[in-house]
Structure 1
Amino acid sequence: MTVLLLAGLAGATAPAWAQRTRSKSKAQLERERRTTLQRIQETSRILAQTQEKKQASVGQLNAIQEKLTVQQGVIKNISSELHYIETDVQQTESQVQRTRQSLEQLKAEYARLIYAGSKTANGYNRLMFLFAAESFNQFMLRLRYIRQYTEVRQAQAAQIVSTQQRLSTQLLGLKAKKEEKGSLLNTQLSEKRTLTTLKTQQDQVITKLTQQEQGLRKELAARQQAVGRLDNLIAQRVREEIARAAREAARKAAAARARAAAAAAGRSPGTTSRTPATAAAEAAAAESAERVDRVTLTPETAKLAASFHENRGSLPWPVGKGFISQRFGRHNHPVLKNVVVENRGVDIQTNAGEPVRAVFSGTVLTVASVPGMGTIIMVQHGDYFTVYAKLRSVSVSEGQTVSARQPLGTVATNAEGTSEVQFQVWHNSANLNPENWLGRK
């Protein structure tokens, strides 16, 4: 009986530990599925806005492709959940089988005890058994045997009841898992049908856009010109800020040297005249400043730049909702064959009128209008710069200090119904991949 009891405990404990381990992963999968479904809802709203114009557009194609990607993630997630449930079902079925075997063995052993006990069932037979002892010690041993025999019967009866209850619980759990599996299979089938519909819709949009090749090439040429104007503006503003900071640092250094020289000559710093030598030193410092290729930092701006760098990979997105419709760097055009486009930042497609936010605290360096790129805002974070283009309206001004997540303006919507903001990150005059700086959405 002891062996059976230990086997029963082992059969119940090991799967319970495994179940806790799997439940953690399964719970994570369920959270990911909820997040993915939320992304699908956001993308569906954005797609609906691009479809209002009743005309195929690259923005519409980007929204469909994003929804396809997310939809594939949903199906993959469901497959992983089904794998866990199938494993649970198999292990629960094994538990049920072991419990049934244990129950049958307990019942058989209990039946043997009942049969053996029936021979001494009445009190007269027990007394005869006791008093037939040849000594007092044998009498006590027979008395102890009768007591232990009774206790074993009671313990086995209790274990049979407990095992039957455990078996009932396992069967209910098995039924629930199979129902959950069936529900997920139906959900997976529905999601696959949705995926097929999206692929058909994608093919239709690509076909329509291919028929508009001439218009797409004109649109691409106009975009490239707009990007060039934006690049020139950013480069100019960065150069100007580098030169300004360097001149300011050089002026302060020259003034400090002049004060030191005046003190050494025994004159009051306030009465020091601007000698030709001092003027020459300032001119040389200014000329040297023009050749500096990075922003000269003060202790305050150096601290800000270091903080910006420490937040690499965890900066908030410039918009609360949306997806990356065009990534950083060189890549093939989504429709035009053998055409490669280059992006200095990332384009984030979002809802119409969505607020555009600063990703980190800093100072507004530039607010300007660039044909083809709408209104642009450039925020300085020490020797780092973030650029927000394709804005419809602006709520900040040059020189203004802003904090992280503070609204800068709202995204613009083009004639095709696509609402898209371009976000760029620069370190001095080096263009960086914004995806390496943004956190998970």
Structure 2
Amino acid sequence: MNNKHTYKFLMLLGFCLCFALGSSQNNKQKELETRRQELRREIQKINELRLENKSKEKSQLSLIEDFNYKINVLNNLIKVTNQQANLITREINSNQKQITKLRAELKQLKEDYAAMLVKSYKSKNQQSRIMFLLSSNDFKQAYKRLQYIKQYGDHQKQQGETIKGKTAELQNINANLLKQKEDKQKLITENKVTQKSLETERKQHEVLMKSIKNNINLYTSQINKRQREANRIDAEIDKIIKAAIAKSNKKAGKSSSSKTFALTPAGKALAKDFESNKGKLSWPVEKGIVKVRYGTQPHPINRSLTIKSNGVRIATEKNAKVRSIFNGEVIDVVRMKNVNPIVIIRHGNYITYYKNLSKVYVKEGDKVVTKQEIGEVYTNKINGETILSFSISKESNTQNPASWIYKMY
């Protein structure tokens, strides 16, 4: 590869790298903006739910959950906004470097063009083009001189167009730079507002925590009672699932001691379809925010205590309808003493659970489809909270709903 080709290759490679980097930064900025808007909508939902329940007397435990959740969302919003501002700063720096480079190129182009015009003018004074052609020794030389005059003129025109293009490019980058600076300032201003909101929430949280610490034993007792109740419900559900697994194996003529469902071809296809939609499944309510997440976690009031959550607790609006997240079959509607109804739906060897319902629209054996309404979430008359407890499992093994439901962060 000669020097000319090497130079062209390096120029092309540099252009491709710059384009890829610019495209990557642009995609990242879009992702961050999407996430920022989602967090802002989530904060709006929190405020709407708070306003809806303002007249109700909430328990200290519920209030702490509310504060913790909003503080977490506000922190995430600040983090994402900072990432956006930092990315814009990098883009601004990159554009400023590009502007400096373009200005230098433009200056050199203009100098070359000016020198070319001077040379052309002098050439015209010393010898006219006609004389330049007529002084040729033969026709071949005259033809070459004619080509030279044409090429020189074309080159002048091309230089003029290049200068025009570089000038337009410089103006465009300058305009983008101003827009980026405005966008960055908006993000900074917005972050200051979010910071103030966060400080307010934290102060209220601290005041509430101080009052709670004076009666920590009472609250610890309430926490343990709530966990025991959750464990009792989970144990009952586990029995129902194991019985359903045994029933499916008995029907298929297999060992009843098996811990997995004996799936029919239709059941296998449904399970495969369910798996292929991981991360894209619909929410069990149309509007909601996750107040308690999946897994074992320290309790927000007493950090020495751990709470085990086999699913998520979703705060939603009053009279919210519960929807099946996927096609399936109702295998049970659980009604326990002092417990609101629970609907259990099977999707091949996957199970979804919808707890704390006030109304149930389906019965055991019913076939359901995605987003079909299966009931209504119970609203606590004392504190005004409307909370759906939702879980997913594969056989008896619980899954994190956030991994399955669309944008359940």
Deviations 1:393-414 (A, max 9, x none): 2222334333333222211223
Mapping 1:250-269, distance limit 5 Å = none
- In 1, are the aligned partners of 2:271 and 2:350 still within 8 Å (CA)? no
Which of the residues 332, 335, 342 maps onto 1:376? Answer: 342
Deviations 1:117-167 (A, max 9, x none): 333445975555555667766665555554444443333333333333332
- In 2, are the aligned partners of 1:49 and 1:418 still within 8 Å (CA)? no
Deviation larger for 47-56 or 238-247: 238-247
Deviations 1:322-381 (A, max 9, x none): 233333443322213533333343322222222222334444343344344322233345
1:161 aligned to 2:164?
yes
Q: 1:62: Cα distance to partner?
A: 1.9
Q: 1:419: Cα distance to partner?
A: 2.0
Structure 1 partner of 2:105 = 102
1:299 aligned to 2:264?
yes
Structure 2 partner of 1:277 = none
Structure 2 partner of 1:206 = 209
Structure 2 partner of 1:402 = 368
Structure 1 partner of 2:55 = 52
Mapping 1:283-294, distance limit 5 Å = 292=257, 294=259
Paired residues in the alignment total 396
Mapping 1:172-251, distance limit 5 Å = 172-213=175-216, 215-238=218-241, 240-241=243-244
Deviations 1:226-251 (A, max 9, x none): 3354245335544654565666667x
- Give the aligned residue type for 1:103: L
- Relative to the length of structure 1, the TM-score reads 0.74
- Relative to the length of structure 2, the TM-score reads 0.79
Q: Equivalent residue of 2:343, what SS?
A: strand
Q: Equivalent residue of 2:341, what SS?
A: strand
Which of the residues 297, 309, 316 maps onto 2:282? Answer: 316
Aligned pair in 2 of structure 1 residues 209, 348: CA closer, same or farther (>3 Å)? farther
Deviation larger for 26-35 or 298-307: 298-307
| Alpha-carbon distance between aligned partners in 1 of 2:203 and 2:392, rounded to the nearest angstrom | 37
Structure 1 partner of 2:385 = 418
Deviations 1:155-190 (A, max 9, x none): 333333333333222222222222222222222222
| Alpha-carbon distance between aligned partners in 2 of 1:141 and 1:298, rounded to the nearest angstrom | 85
Q: 1:23: Cα distance to partner?
A: 1.7
Percent of aligned pairs sharing the same letter: 24
- Give the aligned residue type for 1:417: G
CA RMSD of aligned residues (A): 3.8
Aligned pair in 2 of structure 1 residues 420, 209: CA closer, same or farther (>3 Å)? farther
Deviation larger for 24-33 or 222-231: 222-231
- In 2, are the aligned partners of 1:50 and 1:60 still within 8 Å (CA)? no
Q: 1:65: Cα distance to partner?
A: 2.0
| Alpha-carbon distance between aligned partners in 2 of 1:39 and 1:58, rounded to the nearest angstrom | 21
| Alpha-carbon distance between aligned partners in 1 of 2:95 and 2:361, rounded to the nearest angstrom | 61
- Give the aligned residue type for 2:275: E
| Alpha-carbon distance between aligned partners in 2 of 1:167 and 1:383, rounded to the nearest angstrom | 61
Aligned pair in 2 of structure 1 residues 11, 92: CA closer, same or farther (>3 Å)? farther
Deviations 1:62-94 (A, max 9, x none): 232222222222222222222332222222222
Q: Equivalent residue of 1:374, what SS?
A: coil
| Alpha-carbon distance between aligned partners in 2 of 1:417 and 1:176, rounded to the nearest angstrom | 46
- In 2, are the aligned partners of 1:57 and 1:416 still within 8 Å (CA)? no
Q: Equivalent residue of 1:377, what SS?
A: strand
1:357 aligned to 2:323?
yes
- In 1, are the aligned partners of 2:263 and 2:349 still within 8 Å (CA)? no
Question: Which runs of no fewer than 5 residues in structure 1 stay unpaired?
Answer: 254-287
Which of the residues 63, 66, 71 maps onto 1:63? Answer: 66
| Alpha-carbon distance between aligned partners in 1 of 2:241 and 2:391, rounded to the nearest angstrom | 13
| Alpha-carbon distance between aligned partners in 1 of 2:277 and 2:137, rounded to the nearest angstrom | 91
Q: Equivalent residue of 1:370, what SS?
A: coil
Question: Which runs of no fewer than 5 residues in structure 2 stay unpaired?
Answer: none
| Alpha-carbon distance between aligned partners in 2 of 1:100 and 1:56, rounded to the nearest angstrom | 65
| Alpha-carbon distance between aligned partners in 2 of 1:168 and 1:296, rounded to the nearest angstrom | 67
Aligned pair in 2 of structure 1 residues 108, 219: CA closer, same or farther (>3 Å)? same
1:341 aligned to 2:344?
no
Structure 1 partner of 2:39 = 36
- In 1, are the aligned partners of 2:298 and 2:307 still within 8 Å (CA)? yes
Structure 2 partner of 1:392 = 358
- In 1, are the aligned partners of 2:295 and 2:400 still within 8 Å (CA)? no
- Give the aligned residue type for 1:97: T
Q: Return the index of the structure with the highest Cα Rg.
A: 1
Q: Equivalent residue of 2:356, what SS?
A: strand
| Alpha-carbon distance between aligned partners in 2 of 1:305 and 1:187, rounded to the nearest angstrom | 46
